[in-house]
Structure 1
Amino acid sequence: MRTAEEEIVSSCPQCGLEIRSDRRFTTWCAACDWNVDPQGPGGPERGLDGVRRRIAQRYGGQLFDELSSGGGSGPSRRTASGLLAYAIALAVHGLTLVLAAIGLLGVIRGWGGLGMAFGLFLLALAWSLRPRLNRLSDDDRVLLRADAPELYALVDEVAAAMGTRSVDAVVVDVDANAGVTHLGLRRRLLTLGLPLWEVLSPQQRIALLGHELGHFTHGDTRHGMVVGTACGSLNTWLYYVQPTPNPNAIQAIANLACVPLRLLITGVLALLELLTARASQRGEYLADTAAARTGSTEGAVGLMDRLMVTDSIVTTLHRETNNRRLRGAGGGGQRNGDGLWEALAAHLDSVPESEFERQRRVGALRGHSVDATHPPTHLRRRLLLSGTPVAAAVTADADRTERIAGELAGVRQTLAREVVRDGYGNL
């Protein structure tokens, strides 16, 4: 809630109506949209991110119309585009296998000569391009069931309400996001970004869990094992053929020679994005439905509002960590992490409704998404509100919320200290 010192009263220079705004946020007019988007959309994104963003906006709008009219909400089916994506992915993996076979043949037949050296090179290249299954790293902050039984019990309850299997591990990090993926062939991983978790209400957190676990119940070939690992191999190829900066004469020739290969790899990646985009966007909308079913429509809509202001989350963390680092410049910085997450939550709780509404309108103008793989957030929110409101299948009372907070206390403190010590964005 804003204070009297933070309130500004002015007149709209475009329509003349009175504007009551918060000096911490953009002053704009809700009647005529004056200054609703002072920064403007900016220049068009280039490269693969630009392709992803444009595809997401196109299919996001098409699927919103389809789902809001009652169609397309049934079980996922294999489509021609999905099958073609699998075929391309298998071809990518087949090329890696061919390189390995030629390399092995070169080692055997060219033993002791140049053929052996060429074979070893191809084997090393094929090894770097091999399909990689997800695995935990030593730097991951992993919470196992013994570490957080109440959190896992909540995740289990949400999974049961979704009719799916729960997760095998939870990782907590400092991204203002969350996600699910597979570990190896069968295990499931949930990643919770502490900055996002901390600014959500208990029901919004349940909606977040419902959304993420909902991805396991809907097909998304882009993140499947075959297509996902093929994209990883293609990105490795793309890394190898990137132009050398400030090249000498020989490097300039090599850069030029790699242009056709770079264009081919980029084209294949863009094609895979196009072929899998519709299923991925549909999966996001259906995961939002799962969020509403588990955490209530109100909780899911509140989650969408928080996602609209993720930039504010990041900005606040940068400001808080910079201030705390300055205060601890003389030493004793260990305690400067205390209260970081509480300060972040307090700021988000103080964001006025007018700023959320402005962000919704900006999202409609720009086609704002959480990232380049999600449908526009304002359409996701509208679709949730267009249906009949549903009550929460899973709830968390104050005692349960407190117990989960106690389980996260250690990792909260550790990550706060690391963020302040290293600076947000450097972890």
Structure 2
Amino acid sequence: MLAVAVALVVHALTVALTVGGIWFLVRGWGGLGMIPGAFLLALGWSLRPRLTTLPEDKPVLRRADAPELFALTDEIARVAGTRGVDAIAIDAEINASVQSYGIRGQRLLTLGLPLWEALTPQQRIALLGHEMGHYVNGDTRHGLVVWSAYRSLTTWHYYFEPVDHDPLDDTGALTLILNLLYVVPRLLVRGMLTVLDGLTLRATQRAEYLADRVSARTGSTQAALECMDQLLIADSASVTLQREVNRAALNGPRGRQQAAAWAEGLWERLAADLASVPEHERERLRRAGALRGHSVDATHPPTHLRHACLLIGEAAPAAVVADDDQERRIAGELSAARTKVALQILRDGY
């Protein structure tokens, strides 16, 4: 409730800027009052709450493009106690995520191919179960009110960033004064961001634990634990992909057909490399992760605590079991996206 209250204060400031801009324009129409009016309206517009849209730089699949993948996601969603997603985006991240987009709150699942290709079919079900679990349990930080307040505060912080200046330049003194004036508002904005972080972090981490429970219920506790372990070798996946990029740059594909052939085998080579990591090395990474407090990012609980939480009580069997034929059909549906993302990695590096 406090987080929502802080977020509403942030949005109230945006409304005040917009109303103030309209007032200046009306009162000073045709005069100097239009200058601050236009400035305040532009500022209010840049800080407005914005709805998320579908990404334009990633392959996005609809139900007609991947009926088997959507059918699997729908089945997992039913077990989780929610509905499926409306679109699936594919990217090159070693991650997966869900979010809402559009006015009607449609659902977008983003699958990072390096993670997806490294998982077994049952581990993929556990991964999808975890992501669907976020829609079941809720997360204050990712709600529209608080999330858009984060975005507005981040924009404010960008506006108050120090301006680079050369002391020998004619405008150096003016820039220095401007930077000094920015100090207090920048600290205030950073303080607001810190407050929102403190108020929502516990709920965000709790949502991750609850999503792990959904993951275990859909794909089995064992598959959920194995999926979590794959995150510990994410650095190995990054190294493998960078090695492939370097190899392609030195003596790799020449021409479109060769590049497509290279891209086709990238994911198989990545999966083989990660599968070759021996169990004793995985155990070492688990222990090192526990000592370092490894987590996916600052919003996730430490991985070893998530691991320990899943081991409390009896192990859950899989409510959704992988089907080999369905997996082959899903692989076919993802083939174009696999090639496109692999070529993107080849072109842009990793």
Q: TM-score range by the shorter chain?
A: over 0.9
* Aligned partner (choices 244, 247, 250) of residue 163 of structure 2: 244
1:363 counterpart residue number: 289
* Aligned partner (choices 303, 307, 310) of residue 384 of structure 1: 310
- Taking the aligned partners of 2:307 and 2:283, their CA distance within structure 1 comes to 12
Contact 1:325 1:421 in 2 (8 A): no
How big is the shift at 1:351? 0.5
1:161 counterpart residue number: 79
- Taking the aligned partners of 1:265 and 1:179, their CA distance within structure 2 comes to 28
* Aligned partner (choices 193, 196, 207) of residue 269 of structure 1: 193
CA pair 330-341 structure 1, distance change in 2 beyond 3 A: closer
* Aligned partner (choices 110, 117, 121) of residue 198 of structure 1: 117
How big is the shift at 1:334? 2.1
1:310-364 per-position Cα deviation (integer Å, ceiling 9, x unaligned): 1111121111111112223765662432311111100110011112111111111
* Aligned partner (choices 133, 149, 154) of residue 51 of structure 2: 133
Give the structure with the larger helix fraction.
2
- Taking the aligned partners of 1:98 and 1:288, their CA distance within structure 2 comes to 42
2:169 counterpart residue number: none
Q: Which amino acid aligns with 2:113?
A: L
2:36 counterpart residue number: 118
Contact 1:241 1:261 in 2 (8 A): yes
Name the SS of the counterpart of 1:182 in structure 2: strand
1:400 counterpart residue number: 326
2:259 counterpart residue number: 334
Q: Under a length normalisation based on structure 2, what TM-score does the superposition of the two structures give?
A: 0.95
- Taking the aligned partners of 1:314 and 1:269, their CA distance within structure 2 comes to 31
1:112-140 per-position Cα deviation (integer Å, ceiling 9, x unaligned): 22210110010000000000111113223
How big is the shift at 1:219? 2.4
* Aligned partner (choices 46, 51, 64) of residue 146 of structure 1: 64
Contact 2:160 2:185 in 1 (8 A): yes
Q: Aligned pairs, how many?
A: 342
1:14 counterpart residue number: none
Name the SS of the counterpart of 1:338 in structure 2: helix
- Taking the aligned partners of 2:255 and 2:128, their CA distance within structure 1 comes to 39
Contact 1:206 1:294 in 2 (8 A): yes
* Aligned partner (choices 295, 298, 316) of residue 372 of structure 1: 298
Larger deviation, residues 155-164 vs 238-247: 238-247
- Taking the aligned partners of 2:152 and 2:181, their CA distance within structure 1 comes to 21
Q: Which amino acid aligns with 1:228?
A: W
1:354 counterpart residue number: 280
Contact 2:253 2:259 in 1 (8 A): no
Larger deviation, residues 334-343 vs 276-285: 334-343
Residue 253 (str. 1) matches residue 172 (str. 2): no
Contact 1:85 1:272 in 2 (8 A): yes
RMSD: 1.2
- Taking the aligned partners of 1:169 and 1:338, their CA distance within structure 2 comes to 24
1:108-167 per-position Cα deviation (integer Å, ceiling 9, x unaligned): 111122210110010000000000111113223100000000000000000000110111
- Taking the aligned partners of 2:211 and 2:73, their CA distance within structure 1 comes to 15
Q: Which amino acid aligns with 1:351?
A: V
CA pair 361-246 structure 1, distance change in 2 beyond 3 A: farther
Q: Which amino acid aligns with 2:201?
A: A
Residue 230 (str. 1) matches residue 149 (str. 2): yes
Q: Under a length normalisation based on structure 1, what TM-score does the superposition of the two structures give?
A: 0.78
1:289 counterpart residue number: 213
Structure 2 unpaired stretches of 5+: 167-171
**What's the % identity of the aligned pairs?**
58
1:53-83 per-position Cα deviation (integer Å, ceiling 9, x unaligned): xxxxxxxxxxxxxxxxxxxxxxxxxxxxxx0
- Taking the aligned partners of 2:55 and 2:68, their CA distance within structure 1 comes to 24
1:171 counterpart residue number: 89
* Aligned partner (choices 296, 306, 310) of residue 230 of structure 2: 306
Q: Which amino acid aligns with 1:239?
A: Y
Larger deviation, residues 279-288 vs 181-190: 181-190
